[in-house]
Chains A and B, each alone.
Chain A
Amino acid sequence: MVAWTDAERNAITSVFAKLNPDVVGPNALARCLIVYPWTQRYFSKFGNLYSAETILGNPMVAAHGKVVFGGLEMAVKNLDDIKKTFAPLSELHSEKLHVDPDNFRLLADCLTLVIAGQMGAAFTPEVQAAWQKFLAVVVSALCRQYY
């Protein structure tokens, strides 16, 4: 089980409380598709992903960004048992969606950058450390059911 200090718990929950679910998820996913275009391979059904502009305006990308954000919310609410909470999602991503787990890290990085952009100076090194530890745990949980 992951050990969280009180400071880390506070940092993670307070960062999360500041996030707008309609903005952060969609922006992070769009950024991922733009900055790491090979990730588009999983979204062939999403229609037009030709340019940064179309990706940013694509309603399916936005909708899926919100789904991803919902997953994060679940993790924040279950900080002490992310592994178990995410077991079904892990199986989904490996067995049904066949997502290369390295992509989870790419999306996590994009999330960090979007949040940094939103929080500015409030995203201190300590807050960044706690947040990235949280994302690393989420990514690890998502990778667990792969074999």
Chain B
Amino acid sequence: MGLIKDTFHNLQELRNSASLANKVFIQRDYSEGTTCKFQTKFPSELENRIERTLFEDTVKTLNNFYAEAEKIGGHSYLEGCLACVTAYLIFLCMETRYEKVLKKIAKYIQEQNEKIYAPRGLLITDPIERGMRVIEISIYEDRGSSGSSSGSSSVSGSTAR
């Protein structure tokens, strides 16, 4: 708990000394239908900020979580049939599997923010806060550096952190 508090203070300091420069939106990948999956294409704005492999790992893990939540198999048939028989009243009492996975996702994103993204001046917003349409990554610029306008983070010449 103490570690989390310290990390929150670190993120706090990040915000104290940094200002929001830009936001990158990772869009959905619909190639396999309407299941929730995000594109793993590396956005150019993050070129100097984070290693490609780290970013791709994060997105792939998130995609795996969503695939697990939406998987149709023995467990979901059982849940569906039981729900039907009880006139779907069990949804009011029980936490569904999807909600359990969403909690895991929230914890994972928080972990990633603390360990990987915040030290690089980035912050991931949980897709559920954006209607599962996009993964929003906020890019922070150090206030100490020369005032940069919001569109310039991808241009070469900016010093890497």
Q: Say whether A associates with B.
A: no
Report which B residues bind A (CB closer than 8 A): none
